[in-house]
Amino acid sequence: MSEDLIRYDILTREALRGVVRKVLSEVSRTGLPGDHHFYISFASQAPGVRLPARLVERYPTEMTIVLQNQFWDLKVTEAGFEVGLSFDDRPETLHIPFAAILGFFDPSVEFGLKFEVEAALVTDDGDTAGEAVSGGDDAGSDDPDAPVPPGGDKVVSLDQFRKK
């Protein structure tokens, strides 16, 4: 087989991240339509990610946020997005480059994308799964009504989010 000089893998990954960009751009302009909401997993220490130090300490490898009921100031650029969420009743602003996204899932329609983890984003022991947090109602709170990923508090793959 010939060597892939066109790099279809990179082109495909960029196109799929473009889907996430397009969806978030539309939501930033018009809000979430219907029952749509999103679980977005990302490498918490990837280049360009900006999180408060306490969140990086709590989620050193991977973090999952939920954009559902209470988020604000969603701003989308070509390179990434910024969103306001509440963690333990403290408002925070997160900046997440699209290149840091590991997964995107909309459980209302069971649509999901999983992205390959770049070698630089993998921890020394090869682990790419980290703790998840909900950013919907009040991320990090003990509120039993706050949305959390159905797979529990560990995010290993988007298959955990699928309805059983």
Backbone angles phi, psi at 76, to 5 degrees: -120, 135
Beta bridge partners of 35: none
pLDDT value at position 118?
Answer: 60
Instruction: Confirm whether pTM is higher than 0.75.
Output: no
Assigned fold of 8-156: SH3 type barrels. (2.30.30)
pLDDT value at position 97?
Answer: 97
pLDDT value at position 62?
Answer: 96
Among candidate residues 89, 68, 95, the one with its CA nearest the CA of residue 140: 89
Instruction: State pLDDT tens for residues 80-103.
Output: 999 999 999 999 999 999 999 999
Question: How far apart, in Å, are the Cα atoms of 93 and each of 18, 55, 135?
Answer: 22, 11, 11
pLDDT value at position 46?
Answer: 95
Residue 59's identity, in one-letter code, is: Y
pLDDT value at position 148?
Answer: 37
- For the chain, the structural domain boundaries read 8-156
Q: Per-residue pLDDT for 21 more than 60?
A: yes
pLDDT value at position 119?
Answer: 47
